Amino acid sequence: MSKAKYVYLFGNKEAEGNAKMKNLLGGKGANLAEMNLIGVPVPPGFTITTEICTLYNEKGRDYAINLIKDDVVKAVAHVENIMGMKFGDKENPLLVSVRSGARASMPGMMDTVLNLGLNDLAVEGIAAKSGNPRFAWDSYRRFVQMYGDVVLGMKPESKESEDPFEIIIDDIKKKRGVKLDTELTADDMKELVKEFKAAVKKQTGKDFPDDPWEQLWGAIMAVFDSWMNERAILYRKLNKIPDEWGTAVNVQAMVFGNMGEDSATGVAFTRDAATGENIFNGEYLINAQGEDVVAGIRTPQQITLEGSRRWAKLANISEEERKEKYPSLEEAMPEVYKELYEVQDKLEKHYRDMQDMEFTIQDRKLWLLQTRNGKRTGAAMVKIAMDMLKEGLIDKDEAIMRVEPNKLDELLHPVFDKDAVAKAKVVAKGLPASPGAAAGQVVFHADDAEKWAAEGKKVVLVRIETSPEDLKGMNSAEGILTARGGMTSHAAVVARGMGKCCVSGAGSIKVDYKARTLEMGGHKYKEGDYISLNGSTGEVYDGLIKTVDPELSGYFGQLMKLADKKARLYVRTNADTPHDAQVARDFGAKGIGLCRTEHMFFGGDKIIAMREMILAEDEKGRRKALEKLLPMQRTDFEGIFEAMQGLPVTVRLLDPPLHEFVPHDEKGQKEMAKVMGVSVSTIKAKVEELSEFNPMLGHRGCRLGNTYPEITEMQTRAIIEAAMNLRDKKIDARPEIMIPLTGTLAEMKMQENIVRETAEKVFEERGKRIDYLVGTMIEVPRAALTADQIAQSAEFFSFGTNDLTQMTFGYSRDDAGKFLPIYIEKGILKNDPFQVLDQEGVGQLVEMAVKKGRKTRKKIKLGICGEHGGEPSSIEFCHRVGLDYVSCSPYRVPIARLAAAQANIMNKRSWKKKNK
Ligand code: PEP
Ligand code: MG
């Protein structure tokens, strides 16, 4: 058996990996190899595979090192050869970077070590070679600091406590009477290295490692360790990245962006990640290293002249000041800019997707350190997909597959009301880092954001700058405002990924964490005060601004049209008011898949009549109350049918247990006693009589209609009469009457009979007929198991996967919140089965019922109306098992339309693959 390969080299045209090997080499490693293969300049290096990370976690450090030891030695020699340098050498030392790189990009979540290989000897070599001792010693002190933090655990536990290295730097700056790091001399840097090392010795009890090999192994293992750090685990959870994937480690020859005024480092995008516009853009810093651009410490400059001018306008900076202090790369280094422009064009054409690149310029020589498909907002995602389709870069299927259905959500939600915003006062301006509107109460700390949001408050997280530790708080906030940082700062990148509104780098605001205040526009805001953000313009407003629904035409409309052409499943909505029905139609719903009639009984007179019906002594009393309810129900149904204009409407008969409608409080009971002319104690006794131990498994669904047929009669009459009234007004109405919670054919049959007899009565009274269907929910496991029998009576099935999940797992829908999060945390369940359909278990019942139902009734109409009907992976399942439609809440309709198209494309692709 040949030995498994764990180390892949790159750095000559024969890179051992390629872009297809992401699972093994991680995104960064695979793309470095690919760039190398297509002739883009990358510093030579090697990638240690993700398999080693998994083995390291399973079997420990020694085991992992043993597997790769020889190969890593060879790989370092390979880099030495290409660079003509030697690891740990006194005269010509090779320095390397050690970086993580998982299959899916996890920006800023894991650790990196730069300048590795430096020690007291090598630093002299670098100083002599570069002729720049300050640079050499600055690199050295950065290395000790980074290595100390990442590998030796010197990093402070929480950001409130102080970083030992930063304290030392502040001390020396004070002593020298300077403000900026750049004002420190080579000797100062030398002093810093000494003091840093002493701090390491003091805190860890060990000397800082001088041996480059010891440094290298320490860094490699630390990167593997960082796969399991808290923020990486949280990021994976939020982005559904499995823990088993592991990270690869990339070791690469260092190139320096901080060698002087002819060196720089930056981040660039082939298109605008916020709007999707086809404009090359990005930021860079002269004489800076590695993470300086994304860290948000210095104000980065724009790469293109056009971008630079736009930025200056937003930041209120004059053209003279811009040119002098913040020139674009296009102006500062035109030849390098030209090369970078060509590289980005090549990369986008090669990958056929928007690229997010990191680069370094050392002595005016360009090096690419990374390229990946760029994260983008929902709006940018749609625009880029549709533009690339028009440009002929991708085909229609690909354009559809490029849009993440859940990201569409960002386009569907409200933006600021134009009038309200025109009257609002702008108190600050920053960069439009992530679009959308956000309004809420100011908080200054991520944990407060989390806490306040949990209490149901809407908050805006305000920070000087954010760090990966703030992830949870950012996720809880409506929006994020930062004082520092550019378009590629941590806050901006993460917010765009989350689809959260973000304004970054609002330099004029003053944040005081201790006092919990924020000064802007001449006003001091306290924690809890209201502000609003516009992430599309960078404007910050005083107070809470009203929002309105967004426009749904343009690129979004084109994508939806395309999706409908590609989908086999069609999409209905769950709606029980004319307003919701209208919203859903505007979003493209082709009917109502579930109208929960119980929602129509609340409010005003209806609830009183409903209570009268439930609390009545006998059938006579119930009929009397039902007579009052009939016209109200009829009017409600007319509203819904009218909103749907001839599209099918599935109306479900009363489902929940009756006790949900009766008054449990003294006041309500007194009121009902008065209305019904009975004593309060009679009402009380009746309420008690209705209470159940397990209401979800109790007197509900068709059990109500079968014990009190008069309820089914009234509802059927209301539905049929409403439809006929509309027909009289020349408005088409297509009712489908749905029986809830059916478990046996007899239950269904009895309900069907009542419905049909009542409908016939109405037809006779009116002397005409209309078409209607009678069908059932399939939400009790027994119904799925006996679907062939039930289909004798039911003309359609709608899978109620909420109840079906409840009854298949035996998890109470109302109580599962207590243990499901723990189950997911412990890995007992991968997902919440009430959100993502459990295809393995519950799915089997659905599939079986589909087959059995069709066996009995070939043309039976099949759909789903549980929450899963709006969840992309569940929709894919529904497509695969052959349902006709999915039904979901109005705001999820576009998501479902896109997911339905993707399901069809994916299934055709896998069919083709199988049958090749
Ligand atoms: C279901 O059970 O999936 C369903 C749609 O019905 P409800 O949520 O109203 O019980
Ligand atoms: Mg149900």
Tokens representing 874 are 């569940």
> Is pLDDT above 90 for 167?
no
* Rounded-to-integer distance, Cα 401 and Cα 460, Å: 33
Answer positive or negative: Cα dihedral of 489, 495, 496, 502.
Answer: negative
Using an 8 Å Cβ cutoff, are 468 and 516 in contact?
Answer: no
Query: What atom of ligand 1 comes closest to residue 865's alpha carbon?
Result: 5
What HEC string does 250-310 produce?
EEEECCCCCCCCCCEEEEEECCCCCCCCCCCEEEEEECCCCCHHHHCCCCCEECCHHHHHH
Q: Which of 63, 26, 64 is nearest to 47 (CA)?
A: 26
Higher pLDDT, 231 or 804: 804
> pLDDT tens across 851-904, in order?
999 999 999 999 999 989 999 999 999 999 999 999 998 888 999 999 999 999
* Rounded-to-integer distance, Cα 2 and Cα 354, Å: 39
* Rounded-to-integer distance, Cα 765 and Cα 466, Å: 70
pLDDT at position 160 is 42
- Using pLDDT thresholds of 50, 70 and 90, give the confidence band for residue 497: low
| Mutational test site, ligand 1, from 802, 811, 878, 883, max ligand atoms within 8 Å of CB | 802
List, as one string, the DSSP characters of 637-679.
Answer: HHHHHHHHTTSEEEEEPP-S-GGGTS--SHHHHHHHHHHHTS-
* Rounded-to-integer distance, Cα 499 and Cα 403, Å: 14
With a 6 Å cutoff on the Cβ, whether 133 touches ligand 1 is no
DSSP 184: -
Put simply, whether the predicted model's pTM sits higher than 0.85 gets the answer: no
Q: Whose CA is nearest to atom 4 of ligand 1?
A: 800
Average pLDDT value for residue range 160-167: 73
With a 6 Å cutoff on the Cβ, whether 663 touches ligand 1 is no
- Using pLDDT thresholds of 50, 70 and 90, give the confidence band for residue 583: confident
Using an 8 Å Cβ cutoff, are 451 and 477 in contact?
Answer: no
Cβ count within 10 A of residue 614? 22
DSSP β-bridge partners for residue 574 = 594
What HEC string does 420-476 produce?
HHHHCCEEEECEEEECCEEEEEEECCHHHHHHHHHCCCCEEEEECCCCHHHHHHHHH
With a 6 Å cutoff on the Cβ, whether 599 touches ligand 1 is no
Beta-strand pair 264-269/112-116 = unpaired
- b/e string for 800-823 if b means 16 or more Cβ within 10 A? bbbbbbbbbbebeeeebeeebeee
> pLDDT tens across 8-29, in order?
999 976 789 999 999 999 999 9
* Rounded-to-integer distance, Cα 112 and Cα 146, Å: 8
Angle formed at CA 891 by CA 888 and CA 894, multiple of 5 degrees? 80
Percentage of the residues of the chain whose pLDDT score is greater than 70: 96
Q: Whose CA is nearest to atom 8 of ligand 1?
A: 802
- N- to C-terminal Cα distance for the chain? 30
Lowest model confidence (mean pLDDT) among 227-236, 529-538, 708-717, 896-905: 227-236
* Rounded-to-integer distance, Cα 395 and Cα 389, Å: 6
> Is pLDDT above 70 for 488?
no
pLDDT at position 100 is 93
> pLDDT tens across 390-407, in order?
999 999 999 999 999 988
With a 6 Å cutoff on the Cβ, whether 802 touches ligand 1 is yes
Tokens representing 151 are 């590998």
With a 6 Å cutoff on the Cβ, whether 736 touches ligand 1 is no
Cα of 737 from ligand 2 centre, angstroms: 15
Higher pLDDT, 664 or 799: 799
> pLDDT tens across 76-110, in order?
999 999 999 999 888 899 999 999 999 988 877 78
DSSP β-bridge partners for residue 362 = 365
Tokens representing 632 are 């109200």
With a 6 Å cutoff on the Cβ, whether 866 touches ligand 1 is yes
Cα of 817 from ligand 2 centre, angstroms: 18
Cα of 808 from ligand 2 centre, angstroms: 13
List, as one string, the DSSP characters of 761-774.
Answer: HHHHHHT-----EE
Cα of 805 from ligand 2 centre, angstroms: 10
Average pLDDT value for residue range 217-243: 88
* Rounded-to-integer distance, Cα 803 and Cα 57, Å: 40
Using an 8 Å Cβ cutoff, are 322 and 301 in contact?
Answer: no
DSSP β-bridge partners for residue 284 = 266, 301
When computed from its CA atoms, the radius of gyration of the chain, rounded to whole angstroms, is: 33
* Rounded-to-integer distance, Cα 291 and Cα 112, Å: 9
> Is pLDDT above 50 for 70?
yes
Using an 8 Å Cβ cutoff, are 777 and 742 in contact?
Answer: yes
| Mutational test site, ligand 1, from 803, 809, 836, 886, max ligand atoms within 8 Å of CB | 803
| Mutational test site, ligand 1, from 696, 776, 779, 798, max ligand atoms within 8 Å of CB | 779
* Rounded-to-integer distance, Cα 733 and Cα 273, Å: 45
Tokens representing 383 are 């625009």
* Rounded-to-integer distance, Cα 215 and Cα 146, Å: 12
pLDDT at position 15 is 87
> Is pLDDT above 90 for 111?
no
Query: What atom of ligand 1 comes closest to residue 594's alpha carbon?
Result: 5
pLDDT at position 815 is 85
Lowest model confidence (mean pLDDT) among 57-71, 136-150, 431-445: 431-445
With a 6 Å cutoff on the Cβ, whether 865 touches ligand 1 is yes
With a 6 Å cutoff on the Cβ, whether 813 touches ligand 1 is no
Kindly give, in sequence order, each residue whose CB lies less than 8 Å from that of residue 39, ignoring residues fewer than 6 positions away: 13
- 3-state class percentages of the chain: helix first, strand second, coil last, to nearest 5: 50, 15, 30
Counting every residue, how long is the chain? 916
* Rounded-to-integer distance, Cα 157 and Cα 168, Å: 18
Residues designated as active site: 490, 865
Mean pLDDT of the chain: 91
3-class DSSP state for residue 358?
Answer: strand
- Using pLDDT thresholds of 50, 70 and 90, give the confidence band for residue 552: confident
pLDDT at position 238 is 81
The ligand whose atoms approach the alpha carbon of 874 most closely is: 1
pLDDT at position 621 is 92
> Is pLDDT above 80 for 75?
yes
Helices (H) and strands (E) in the chain, counts: 37, 33
CA 741 to chain centre: 34
DSSP 600: G
Query: What atom of ligand 1 comes closest to residue 574's alpha carbon?
Result: 5
- Using pLDDT thresholds of 50, 70 and 90, give the confidence band for residue 499: low
Cα of 866 from ligand 1 centre, angstroms: 5
> Is pLDDT above 80 for 245?
yes
pLDDT at position 821 is 83
3-class DSSP state for residue 718?
Answer: helix
pLDDT at position 260 is 84
With a 6 Å cutoff on the Cβ, whether 596 touches ligand 1 is yes
Q: Whose CA is nearest to atom 1 of ligand 1?
A: 800
pLDDT at position 818 is 83
> Is pLDDT above 60 for 829?
yes
Q: Whose CA is nearest to atom 9 of ligand 1?
A: 596
Kindly give, in sequence order, each residue whose CB lies less than 8 Å from that of residue 540, ignoring residues fewer than 6 positions away: 426, 427, 428, 429, 430, 481, 503, 506, 509, 520, 531, 532, 533, 534
* Rounded-to-integer distance, Cα 459 and Cα 461, Å: 6
List, as one string, the DSSP characters of 195-213.
Answer: HHHHHHHHHHSSPPP--HH
Higher pLDDT, 536 or 463: 463
Cα of 275 from ligand 2 centre, angstroms: 41
> Is pLDDT above 50 for 500?
yes
* Rounded-to-integer distance, Cα 694 and Cα 568, Å: 40
| Helix or strand run (H / E) with residue 581 | helix 578-586
Tokens representing 623 are 């009929």
> Is pLDDT above 90 for 51?
yes
Kindly give, in sequence order, each residue whose CB lies less than 8 Å from that of residue 213, ignoring residues fewer than 6 positions away: 87, 88
Tokens representing 695 are 């209401």
> pLDDT tens across 733-791, in order?
999 999 999 999 999 999 999 999 999 999 999 999 999 999 999 999 999 999 999 99
Cα of 740 from ligand 1 centre, angstroms: 9
- b/e string for 184-195 if b means 16 or more Cβ within 10 A? beeebbbbbbeb
* Rounded-to-integer distance, Cα 151 and Cα 740, Å: 60
Cα of 753 from ligand 2 centre, angstroms: 22
Q: Which of 360, 78, 108, 72 is nearest to 220 (CA)?
A: 72
Q: What are phi and psi of 452, to 5 degrees?
A: -65, -40
* Rounded-to-integer distance, Cα 406 and Cα 756, Å: 41
pLDDT at position 897 is 98
The ligand whose atoms approach the alpha carbon of 702 most closely is: 2
Tokens representing 764 are 């006779």
Using an 8 Å Cβ cutoff, are 615 and 683 in contact?
Answer: yes
CA 155 to chain centre: 29
